[in-house]
């Protein structure tokens, strides 16, 4: 009987001990999960994300060459918008824009802004199509040129194996009397001027300038005059690109 009681007591002790072990395991706190590490901020290079300069102008347009050096988040996504302003103060405040034009989708290129006033200064700013405005570059001033006072065209009257004869018409395109004109061009090949009439030639190589004679330099608005020339060449050109001015 004593042996039986002892076996029962031992079994009860083991069961009690097992219960305590299960309770302790159930009550143990969960191990803490690691906290997420903060994201590392992006360090942008210490340089301007975009640059540009004026590379051309006419009486009614300005051409700006741009270079996108960095893409987002440190720069801009092309295409790039070039916005013109009438003063540096307006440009600094992005106030009263005068005109704008959008580039091609390349990171480098040219943007020509048209519809401008002759002989006027402009300043430019950059932005992208997402509306991000560049806070650094204020370019300018870029000045449009004076409107042309005359226009010249050349007509090749006759050509032969070693030369040709041409007539150049000079027309006053300004709204006032033109007192004196100048026509310039560069030969496209081996052409060389041999003779000229109704004008005075300057230069005998590839670059030629012809000024008015003493009797045909004054042109009323819309008026015109002509001069003629003979040139030697191995191949008669299809056309001559002329520039006319005062």
Tokens at 79, concatenated:
């295409």
* Closest to 206 (Cα-Cα) out of 165, 240, 245: 240
Topology alike, domains 50-143 and 150-245: yes
Distances (CA, A) of 195 to 19, 130, 205: 124, 60, 13
CATH 2.40.37.10 fits 50-143, yes or no: no
Q: What is the domain partition of the chain in residue ranges?
A: 50-143, 150-245
CATH of the domain spanning 150-245? 2.60.40.290
**Proportion of the chain in helix, strand, coil states, percent, rounded to 5:** 15, 40, 45
Residue 53 pairs in a beta bridge with: 65
Output the tens digit of pLDDT for each of the chain's 246 residues.
434 434 433 443 434 344 434 434 445 555 555 555 566 677 898 899 999 999 999 999 999 999 999 999 999 999 999 999 999 999 999 999 999 999 999 999 999 999 999 999 999 999 998 889 999 999 999 999 988 899 999 999 999 989 999 999 999 999 899 999 999 999 999 999 999 999 999 977 899 999 999 999 999 999 999 999 999 999 999 999 999 998
* Closest to 53 (Cα-Cα) out of 61, 45, 44, 62: 62
**Reported pTM:** 0.61
């Amino acid at each position: 009987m004593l042996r039986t009681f002892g076996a029962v007591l031992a079994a009860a002790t083991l069961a009690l001990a097992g219960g305590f072990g299960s309770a302790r395991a159930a009550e143990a706190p969960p191990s803490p999960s690691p906290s997420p590490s903060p994201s590392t901020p992006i360090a942008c290079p210490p340089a301007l994300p975009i640059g540009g300069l004026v590379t051309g102008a006419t009486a009614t347009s300005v051409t700006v060459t741009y270079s996108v050096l960095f893409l987002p988040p440190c720069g801009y996504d092309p295409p790039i918008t070039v916005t013109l302003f009438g003063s540096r103060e307006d440009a600094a405040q992005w106030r009263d824009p005068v005109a704008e034009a959008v580039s091609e989708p390349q990171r480098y290129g040219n943007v020509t802004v048209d519809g401008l006033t002759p002989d006027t200064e402009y300043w430019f700013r950059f932005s992208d199509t997402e509306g991000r405005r560049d806070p650094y570059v204020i370019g300018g001033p870029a000045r449009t040129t004076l409107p042309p006072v005359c226009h010249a065209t050349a007509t090749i009257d006759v050509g032969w194996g070693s030369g040709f004869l041409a007539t150049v018409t000079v027309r006053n395109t300004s709204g006032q009397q033109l007192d004196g004109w100048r026509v310039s061009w560069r030969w496209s090949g081996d052409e060389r001027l041999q003779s000229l009439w109704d004008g005075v030639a300057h230069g005998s190589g590839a670059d030629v300038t012809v000024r008015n004679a003493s009797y045909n330099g004054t042109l009323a608005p819309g008026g015109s005059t002509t001069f003629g020339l003979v040139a030697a060449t191995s191949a008669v050109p299809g056309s001559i690109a002329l520039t006319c001015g005062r």
